[in-house]
Amino acid sequence: MTFHERDYMEGTLGTQAVDWEERIDTQRLRGERRERALERLRETDLGAMLLVSDPNIRYVTGLAMTGGSGADHYTLLTEDGDIVHWDTADHASNQRANCPWLHDIRYACPGLGNVPRASGSPSARRFLLSTMAETVYEAMEEYGVADEKLGVDVGNRGLLEALEEHGVETDPETAQSVMEDARKVKTAEEIECLRQVAAICEAGFQRIKESARPGKRENEVWGDAVQELWRHGAFVGGGYLTSGPNTWPKHQANTTDRAIRPGDLVYADFYNIGYLGYRSCYYRTFSMGEPTQEQREAYETARDNLYAVLERIEPGATTDEIAQGFPDMEGEHADYYDADEHWQLTTNHWAHGLGLQLYEVPLIWRGLSPDHPIEIEEGMTMAVETQEPAGRQGVRVEEMVVVRENGVEILSQWPVEEITTIDY
C-alpha cells in the first residue's frame, strides 16, 4: 500500500482571510455540513431532529459550541431544512447579531445538565425539563412537524418523556445514526481544518523543543506550548506533556510539576486542540540529550507498529482486518498490566475518528473491532496511536490521517523517523 501524495501546492494554507487565494470557505463549510445532515434526515421517517450534543449542533448550525452548563443550547432541524436554535440569553443575543445564516434564535430553558442538578429541587427540575420540551413542541407546531416523529440525539429518558407528554413521538436511535453517518466522511473544507490544526500542533512541538531544559517543570513547558497554540488561534481543550517515569505508564494527572532531567524521555499529546472546531490528536516523543539504545529501539517499535496499521487503511478495508496490525497481547505488554483481554487496555494502541470531537467514526481497536467490524470509507479522518516502554520510561507516537482512494494522506508532518533530540 502506498501513501497518498498531495498535489502541487496542496497543503496547509494561511489562517487569515484574504482576497487573493481561495482558502477555507466557511460559508461552504457550513452549507455542506447542513446539507449532509438534511439529506440523511430525509432518508428516514423522521420529520425533524432535536440536537442537544454540542458537536452535532455545531455541525448543523456553525455556532461555536465550546461547552456550557448542560443543555442550555439545543437545535431543531426539520425535514424542510428549517433551523431553530435555543441558547442562553447572552449567546442568543450575540448570535442574532453576528450569525445572519440563522433566522430563528430563541432563549433556551436548561432542562438537562448542571442547572437543574444545582437547583436541589425535584419540582424545579421538572419545571425546567417540561419548559424545555414545551419550547421544542411550540417550534414543531410553527414549522408543521408536530405530528411527525422527532429524532433526539441523546437518549435522556426524562427529556423523551417530557416531549411525549406533549404528544411528540420520539426516536433517539435514528437521530444518532443520522448524525453519525453525516459526520463520518469529511468534506474538503473539514479536511483542510484538520490539516490546519495539525500545523498548529507542530508549532507547539517546536515550542517544546525550544523550551524544554533540565530543571524546567513539565507544567512550565506545557504552558509555553499552550501559549504558542493560542497565538496561532487554536482552541485548547485538552492535551498534556509528561517526562521521565511519568511517560510509562502515563501519569494519572497527565502534566505535573515534575522537573525534567537529563536523559528523560518527554512526550506531548496535543489532543482536543481545535481549529474552527475540528479537533486534533497528535503525539510526539522527545529525548533530553541523545537517546539510549533502549530508547531508540522502543521508539522504532512504536513507529513500526504505527505504520503497519497505516499501510492497512484504505477504502473497503474493514476495521477487524486493520486492527490486526496493532500489537498482540505480548506486544501490548499485557503481563505488566496484569491484563487478560485487549478491551482492558483502552487508549494504548488504537485508531479513532477525528472531527468536531475527539472520538468519531471509525474506531479501530483489537478490544472491539474483531467482533464488531465496520467498513472504511474514503474521506474518513482519524488519528492512529501506538506506544512502547523503554525501561522505566516510554515513547508514544501518533499520526493524523485522511483516507484517500490510493492510501492514507498523512496530515501530520512533524518528523517521525526518529525521536526528536533536544540539545541543551
How high is the pLDDT of residue 102? 98
Beta bridge partners of 49: 77, 151
Is the pLDDT confidence value at 36 over 90? yes
Mean pLDDT value across the chain: 95
Helices (H), 43-121: 54-61, 89-98, 114-119
The β-bridge relationship of strands 278-288 and 74-78 is unpaired
The pLDDT of 147-164, averaged and rounded, is 96
For residue 29, tell me if it sits in a domain.
no
Is residue 121 located within the same domain as residue 202?
no
* 232 residue type, one letter: H
Helix (H) or strand (E) holding 136: helix 122-142
Give residue 2's pLDDT.
66
Please state, in angstroms and rounded to a whole number, the distance separating the CA atoms of residues 61 and 84.
9
The band of 12, judged by pLDDT with boundaries at 50, 70 and 90, is confident
Whether residues 133 and 201 share a domain: the answer is no
Residue 410: which of 275, 281, 310 has the closest Cα?
310
The reported pLDDT for the residue numbered 70 is 61
Which pLDDT does position 7 carry in this prediction? 74
**pLDDT given for residue 183 in this prediction:** 97
Domain CATH for 119: 3.40.350.10
Same domain, 102 and 147: yes
Question: By residue range, what is the domain housing residue 74?
Answer: 44-184
Q: What is the pLDDT of residue 176?
A: 96
pLDDT digits (tens, 9 = 90+) for 182-203: 999 999 999 999 999 999 999 9
Q: How many CB atoms lie within 10 A of CB 237?
A: 15
The CATH number of whichever domain residue 236 belongs to comes to 3.90.230.10
The neighbour count for residue 364, using CB atoms within 10 Å, is 28
Angle at 63 between CA 57 and CA 68, to 5 degrees: 70
Count of beta carbons in the 10 Å neighbourhood of residue 137:
18
| pLDDT surpasses 90 at 105 | yes
If asked whether residues 256 and 389 sit together in one domain, one would say yes
Single out the residue in 184, 216, 235 at which a domain terminates: 184
Answer whether residue 23 shows pLDDT above 90. no
Residue type, 59: Y
**pLDDT recorded at residue 6:** 75
Gap between the Cα atoms of 282 and 306, Å rounded: 13
Check whether residue 232 and residue 300 sit in a common domain: yes
